[in-house]
Amino acid sequence: MVRAGLTPERLTRAGAELADEAGFDQVTVSALARRFDVKVASLYSHLRNSQELRTRIALFALEELADRVAEALAGRAGKDALAAFAHAYRDYAREHPGRYEAARFRLDPETAAASAGVRHAQMTRAILRGYDLAEPDQTHAVRMLGSVFHGYVSLEAAGGFDHTPVSSQQSWEWVVDSLDVLLRTRADH
C-alpha cells in the first residue's frame, strides 16, 4: 500500500533538504525512508532506486538555481549582469550546499539536454554577448566563468579562505572585477 502523501515530488524535495543537511553523497532511498519513518520498500512505488532520486534532486537543483539566476539577471547588462550572475551562484551554493553539489551531478546526455542546465549555458552566453565575444572565445569564456565560480565557491565552502585576514567577500569582489576587465580586454582583440 502506498503511504498517503508520498509523491515523487515530495520525495525529491525532502531529498534536496537532506542533501543540504547531510551532504548530497548521503542521499539514498534508505536515508529518505528513515526521514519519513517508512520501510524502504514503500518508496519503490515512487522511485526506482537511489540513482533516480539523485537525478531528480539534480534536476530540481538545476531548475531552482536557473530560476534564481534568471531573476537576478533581469534588466541587467555588462558588468552588472556578470556580478548578479556570480552572486546568485555563490549565494545559492552557500544557502543550499547539498543542492549546489547535486547541480553538478553527472546526468546522461539525454537528461542533461532536457534539463535546466541548458538555461544556465544560455544565460551565460547572454551575459557574454554584452562583451561582444565571438566564437571560440565565447565558449572559452563560458568554461572560464563556470570554472572560476565553481572553484571559488568550492574552496570557500571547504574553509580554504579562513586563514587570512583578507575577507573572502573582498576577494570575491576582486575576482568579479577582474573577470569583467579580462572579458572587456578579450573583446577588444
Alpha helices by DSSP H, listed for 27-167, are 29-36, 40-43, 50-73, 78-95, 97-102, 109-113, 117-129, 137-157
Predicted confidence at residue 45, as pLDDT, reads: 82
- Range from 3-7, 33-37, 131-135, 171-175 carrying the lowest mean pLDDT: 3-7
pTM: predicted TM-score of the whole model, two decimal places: 0.90
Q: Rg of the chain over CA atoms, in angstroms?
A: 19
Average of per-residue pLDDT across 49-57 = 92
String of DSSP letters for 91-126: HHHHH-HHHHHHTTS---HHHHHTSTHHHHHHHHHH
